[in-house]
Amino acid sequence: MAERIVMKFGGSSVGDAESIRQTAAQIYAAHRQGQQVVTVVSAMRGVTDMLIGATTSAAAGDHAIPEQAKQLLWEKHHLAASELLPGEFQGVLGEIQAELSNFSNLVMAISILGEVTPRAMDFIASLGERFSATLVAAYLSAAHGPARAVMADTLIVTDQHFGSANPLLALTGKRVQDSLVPLLESGILPVVTGFMGATREGIVTTLGRGGSDYTAAILGHALDADEIWIWSDVDGVLTADPRIVPTAHPIAQLSYQEAAELAYFGAKVLHPKTVRPAVEKNIPIRMLNTFNPAYEGTLITRETSTGSAVKAVTSIPGLALVTVEGRGMLGVPGVAARVFGAVAQLGVSVLMISQGSSEQSICFVVRQEESGAVVSALEESFRLELSQGDIDSIWREEQMVIVAAVGAAMRGTPGIGGKLFTALGEAGINVLSIAQGSSEYNVSLIVKQQDAHQAVQAIHDAFELSRSK
């Protein structure tokens, strides 16, 4: 039986006519070798941001920005279509235009209402993928052979968690089998919209920003794919952000856990949930570069290779450290539960729980823009303890960064922590806090914003990541 591959192309891989040509060449190359290829596309680069930005402006009562966005979106897709498609295929522009006038009506309604529901936001945010899938399928048909755009609201069934919906894998599997397999078997190339799903009732949802990777993994799971290939504009997963560490280079192999840790800790490599469906069916993921297709990129599999104990260093900026402190907390049961309960009620996620300087405090890290609301909510819920002096204070420190060193072989390799902290000490970097109960695949710590780049560089140097293969 032919090998089955799900290939996902990110926004830059479909960013303009020339990129779409390169993308199509990769799809067709695999197809010609007898592989069954399911393509997943992101929106053209910048489009999702524009859709969300325009909708947010509309909700704030602005008419000009949404109108301008509509115009820019039209020009972008029109330009690509006119460069790519012979006249008889340009009918797809009519479909795009119709969707854009829907968009116009929706943002108009939103600006009149002065608010946007998460449900409406998801519908609008998913339009970019509708446009790109339509365009790519039309180009494949015109240039290479039969292809069909498939809107994932007919395939991926999710819960109602708008903005980051969770797939219902059993229902999805059945739909995918029923609609994609017949296409594959008759030699038609399906081009599926990334990012988007729908509830059982057919209401459009999205899987979270960067969610097209997740789409590819969900489809891979449903189709029992042999491999999942994620195409972007870099040579795979890098040892660090090259804007911070110029000598950062691609990592040949990662385990699923390592890839998941890296994604969670800010490496913009993969949507963090992507590895889950892949792990379940043990499907290898390849990270490849559309613009350097011969390069083998990064292979993500079950195996943990030996080699460097630390494989990569990442950072998440824009955070705040929140501390709840008080002598009266000592030995009082339930304080931690109340703290995190209050935070959860706000819908704020805690990125890391850290070890404070004394046992009489609880510290944790949240996004900076959410930290003010977190402190207010905690003050409210501990009003009594604050007035009685059982809790002395609740405060936040802004401009914090989590720096994480990731690698599965850290487990069981003695001296990693020592080496890491020595390197940071020698660089004169003050570590404010260390993660508690981290997964053994990473060591994560908190530093001030102004020290973050130097910390990443120091760890990268200490573990000689510029040299490792």
Binding site for ligand ASP (CB under 6 A): 10-11, 42-43, 48, 128, 194-195, 209-212
Residue 236 binds: one of ligand ASP, Mg ion, none (C-beta under 5 to 8 A by kind): none
Residue 195 binds: one of Mg ion, ligand ASP, none (C-beta under 5 to 8 A by kind): ligand ASP
* Shortest distance in whole angstroms from residue 103 CB to ligand ASP: 15
Residue with the two structure tokens 């795979």: 236
Taking each helix axis from N to C end, the angle separating 169-185 and 212-223, rounded to the nearest 10 degrees, works out to 80
What are the residue ranges of helices labelled H in 198-307?
212-223, 256-264, 275-280
- 210 touches Mg ion by CB under 5 A: yes
Please say which residue, 196 or 322, places its beta carbon nearer to ligand ASP.
196
Residue 211 binds: one of Mg ion, ligand ASP, none (C-beta under 5 to 8 A by kind): ligand ASP
Are the C-beta atoms of 368 and 319 separated by less than 8 Å?
yes
Strand (E) or helix (H) holding 85: none
Q: Determine whether 17 is exposed, middle or buried from the number of CB atoms within 10 Å of its CB (0-12, 13-18, 19+).
A: middle
Residue 57 binds: one of Mg ion, ligand ASP, none (C-beta under 5 to 8 A by kind): none
Residues whose CB falls within 8 Å of the CB of residue 125, separated by 6 or more in sequence, listed in order: 48, 51, 52, 55, 195, 206
* Binding segment toward Mg ion, per CB under 5 A, in 4-12, 27-35, 258-266, 437-445: 4-12
Please say which residue, 195 or 441, places its beta carbon nearer to ligand ASP.
195
Are the C-beta atoms of 460 and 240 separated by less than 8 Å?
yes
Site for Mg ion in 5-34 (CB under 5 A): 10
Look up residue 258 and give its two tokens.
Answer: 């390592």
Please say which residue, 22 or 355, places its beta carbon nearer to ligand ASP.
22
Exposure on the CB side of residue 194, measured as CA atoms within 13 A: 31
* Shortest distance in whole angstroms from residue 128 CB to ligand ASP: 6
Residue 172 binds: one of Mg ion, ligand ASP, none (C-beta under 5 to 8 A by kind): none
* Shortest distance in whole angstroms from residue 132 CB to ligand ASP: 8
Please say which residue, 212 or 255, places its beta carbon nearer to ligand ASP.
212
Look up residue 298 and give its two tokens.
Answer: 């990064």
Site for Mg ion in 46-105 (CB under 5 A): none
Please say which residue, 46 or 328, places its beta carbon nearer to ligand ASP.
46
Please say which residue, 15 or 210, places its beta carbon nearer to Mg ion.
210
Residues that bind Mg ion (CB under 5 A): 10, 210
